[in-house]
């Protein structure tokens, strides 16, 4: 179905489909653009030049019906060399012209320009679509130069989109919490939601650390980090379990309260075809497990088993290499 306007002297409804489209729009519908049809007569800048594209759409003006299926480019007048101006893009209903026209009303250049007035007489009646700001000496337009002036045939659409609380509904009327209420709730430490131990997987007071008589919990700080106590087989604050001890020397050793000791070093320089001995920063109580890493696995244990105080490694390559060594065992 092509574009058409109705009712004008030289236009008429041709068939039932046109009547079905036009008639429901005529029952107390205010002037404006109909939402959701074609491009809603949206005005956008063209890719270059002083040109705007006016999308297709459906509109009603004083009971006259307009439908345009496709967009139409409109070229603006050249810019002023001194001052900016504001043009008005309109959809004009013309009785003498027998239809609707998408057109531009050129504004007057001024230091502080204003948009021209739309036609509002018995013959020509304009429905504003957009204002276009044309800067002095402008060569093109962008989206920021265009201000939407469309109104809609359904006032309900604007009302639904109004986020300014047009009915002045109060929080008390709908039982909503105020910001002060929420802040007070966040600060309430009296378990206002009555959460139980089971719901959060927490231990009740009877199962807390302080209930175990075999563990000295004196001096435990709130929020202190937990450590594992081998004697009691419990995770307890590190002030009770004992903190790991770090020992430095040629490399580093860390001793844990459980008796575990881990030592490591890098690099140990080993000349090709010879061995080098690493003395641990802290002795083991028995021979530890030792892992040696080197270039293409050419570093090998020289003493087997490793000693409790030192270990030797041998370089079987033809070039001097750096070795990395880790020793894991018991310190007590």
CATH of 4-161, one of 1.10.10, 1.10.1060, 2.60.520, 3.30.2450: 2.60.520
Asked whether the CA dihedral 204, 210, 213, 215 is positive or negative, the reply is positive
| Residues 304, 297: Cα–Cα separation, whole Å | 17
CATH class for the domain made up of 245-330: mainly beta
pLDDT for residue 219: 47
Q: In 3D, which of 293, 302, 296 has the Cα closest to residue 323?
A: 293
Domain map (residue ranges) of the chain = 4-161, 245-330
| Residues 173, 170: Cα–Cα separation, whole Å | 5
pLDDT for residue 3: 72
Q: Do domains 4-161 and 245-330 have the same CATH topology?
A: no
pLDDT for residue 323: 87
In a structure prediction context, what are the per-residue pLDDT tens digits for the chain, which is 332 residues long? 567 565 665 666 556 566 556 655 565 667 899 998 999 999 999 999 999 999 999 998 887 888 999 999 999 999 999 999 999 999 999 988 888 999 999 999 999 999 999 999 988 999 999 999 999 999 999 999 999 999 998 765 566 667 788 788 877 777 777 778 778 888 888 888 888 767 776 655 555 555 555 545 454 444 444 555 555 545 555 554 567 889 999 999 999 888 899 999 989 888 888 889 999 999 999 999 998 887 655 666 566 679 999 999 888 777 888 889 999 999 98
pLDDT for residue 13: 57
């Amino acid at each position: 179905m092509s574009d058409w306007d109705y009712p004008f002297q030289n236009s008429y409804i041709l068939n039932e489909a046109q009547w079905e489209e036009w008639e429901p729009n005529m029952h107390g519908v205010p002037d404006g653009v109909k939402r959701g049809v074609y491009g809603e007569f949206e005005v956008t800048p063209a890719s270059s030049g002083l040109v705007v594209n006016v999308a297709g759409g459906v509109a009603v003006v004083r009971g006259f019906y307009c439908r345009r299926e496709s967009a139409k480019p409109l070229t603006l007048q050249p810019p002023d060399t001194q001052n900016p101006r504001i043009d008005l893009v309109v959809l004009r209903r013309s009785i003498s012209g027998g239809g609707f026209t998408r057109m531009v009303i050129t504004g007057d250049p001024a230091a502080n320009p204003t948009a021209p007035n739309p036609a509002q007489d018995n013959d020509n009646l304009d429905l504003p679509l957009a204002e276009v700001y044309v800067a002095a000496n402008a060569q093109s337009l962008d989206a920021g130069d265009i201000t939407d002036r469309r109104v809609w045939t359904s006032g309900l659409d604007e009302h639904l989109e109004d986020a300014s609380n047009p009915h002045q509904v109060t929080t008390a009327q709908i039982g909503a919490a105020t910001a002060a209420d929420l802040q007070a709730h966040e600060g309430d430490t009296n378990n206002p939601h009555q959460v139980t131990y089971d719901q959060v997987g927490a231990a009740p007071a009877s199962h807390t650390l302080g209930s175990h008589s075999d563990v000295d919990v004196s001096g435990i700080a709130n929020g202190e980090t937990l450590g594992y106590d081998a004697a009691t087989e419990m995770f307890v604050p590190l002030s009770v379990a004992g903190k790991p001890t770090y020992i430095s020397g040629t490399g580093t050793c860390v001793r844990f309260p459980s008796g575990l000791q881990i030592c490591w070093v890098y690099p140990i320089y080993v000349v090709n075809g010879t061995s080098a001995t690493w003395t641990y920063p802290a002795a083991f109580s028995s021979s530890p497990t030792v892992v040696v890493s080197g270039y293409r696995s050419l570093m090998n244990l020289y003493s087997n088993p490793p000693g409790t105080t030192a270990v030797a490694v041998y370089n079987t390559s033809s070039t001097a290499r750096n070795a990395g060594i880790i020793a894991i065992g018991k310190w007590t």
